């Protein structure tokens, strides 16, 4: 199996094969479950990508700081950054001059502000915050509502566009997808299978979306501390575990 060169190419291939198939499932505390099909994932990242381009004028090579945990919404923002040719910087410092947009989880709302700063409640269904946000922070769940669920790029994304940054690594789209394909081989995850992800960031960085896009596998993101991973793997039909 050859790794796709870009995220849009990889996603288009999955859509052509089976748009209704589950792509990313998140199992959170208290039994919360969210499952995104390939089509639902495409719709979500299109909305977020339109926001990045239209509201933030995000340019290829500019960074989006994602101060988020392992979560389905993190997968969405990773994909959205890829559609516009931006860099998804996991845990990146919001005050860095290369950061044009920051997406903050509930635990990071007190950090510095980027030119466009969004907060996400990390609700299982993507609902907004119940309480008002600090000054300078917009609610991502509300902001994306006004954007279309189809995205047409002004510039064709290239494989050598920097995309995924975590720790001291910055990977192009082609590099990240190739490494994800190699990871699938190491895990013994065949196309069409499911992989349970219990690792935290940054170890899970590739698994959030590069792995399913590159290797045609579905990922189950388990962040419920009370859950038994073996039981979940059996119930979800996961043949491999990234711990």
pLDDT digits (tens, 9 = 90+) for 180-219: 999 999 999 999 999 999 999 999 999 999 999 999 999 9
Q: Look at phi and psi of residue 122 and say left if phi exceeds 0, alpha if psi is from -120 to 50, else beta.
A: left
Find all residues with CB under 8 Å of 86, minimum gap 6, and list them: 52, 58, 59, 60, 61, 62, 63, 64, 100, 163
- The two beta strands, 22-27 and 169-172, are unpaired
Residue 3 has pLDDT above 90, yes or no: no
pLDDT band at 1 (very low <50, low <70, confident <90, very high): confident
Average pLDDT over residues 156-185: 97
Residue 175 lies in a domain: yes
pTM, to two decimals: 0.97
Residue 43 lies in a domain: yes
In this structure, the number of other CB atoms found within 10 A of the CB of residue 130 comes to: 7
Structure confidence at residue 168 (pLDDT): 93
Residue 86 lies in a domain: yes
Residue 22 lies in a domain: yes
pLDDT digits (tens, 9 = 90+) for 47-93: 999 999 999 999 999 999 999 999 999 999 999 999 999 999 999 99
SS3 at position 109: coil
Find all residues with CB under 8 Å of 231, minimum gap 6, and list them: none
Residue 232 phi/psi, 5-degree rounding, is: -65, -45
Residue 134: which domain range?
A: 7-242
Domains: count for the chain:
1
Candidates 39, 75, 82, 70; CA nearest to 211 is: 75
- The two beta strands, 33-37 and 22-27, are antiparallel
Question: What is the rounded distance in angstroms from the CA atom of residue 142 to the CA atom of residue 87?
Answer: 23
Structure confidence at residue 182 (pLDDT): 97
pLDDT band at 111 (very low <50, low <70, confident <90, very high): confident
Structure confidence at residue 166 (pLDDT): 96
Residue 1 lies in a domain: no
Q: Domain of 22: which CATH number?
A: 3.40.50.12780
């Amino acid at each position: 199996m050859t790794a796709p060169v870009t995220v849009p190419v990889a996603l288009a291939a999955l859509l052509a094969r089976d748009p209704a198939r589950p792509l990313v499932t998140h199992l959170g505390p208290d039994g919360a479950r969210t499952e995104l099909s390939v089509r639902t994932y495409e719709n979500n990242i299109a909305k977020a990508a339109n926001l990045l381009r239209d509201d933030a004028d995000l340019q290829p090579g500019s960074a989006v700081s994602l101060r988020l945990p392992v979560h389905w919404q993190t997968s969405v923002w990773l994909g959205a950054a890829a559609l516009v040719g931006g860099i998804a910087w996991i845990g990146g410092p919001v005050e860095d001059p290369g950061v044009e947009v920051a997406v903050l989880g509930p635990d990071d709302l007190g950090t510095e502000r980027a030119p466009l700063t969004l907060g996400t409640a990390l609700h299982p269904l993507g609902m907004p915050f119940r309480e008002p946000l600090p000054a300078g922070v917009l609610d991502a769940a509300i902001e994306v509502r006004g954007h279309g669920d189809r995205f047409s790029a002004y510039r064709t994304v290239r494989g050598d566009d920097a995309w995924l940054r975590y720790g001291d690594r910055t990977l192009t789209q082609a590099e990240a997808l190739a490494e994800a394909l190699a990871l699938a081989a190491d895990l013994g995850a065949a196309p069409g299978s499911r992989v349970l992800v219990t690792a935290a960031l940054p170890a899970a960085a590739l698994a959030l979306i590069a792995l399913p896009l590159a290797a045609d596998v579905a990922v189950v993101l388990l962040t419920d501390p009370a859950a038994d991973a073996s039981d979940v793997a059996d119930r979800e039909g996961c043949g491999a575990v990234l711990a």
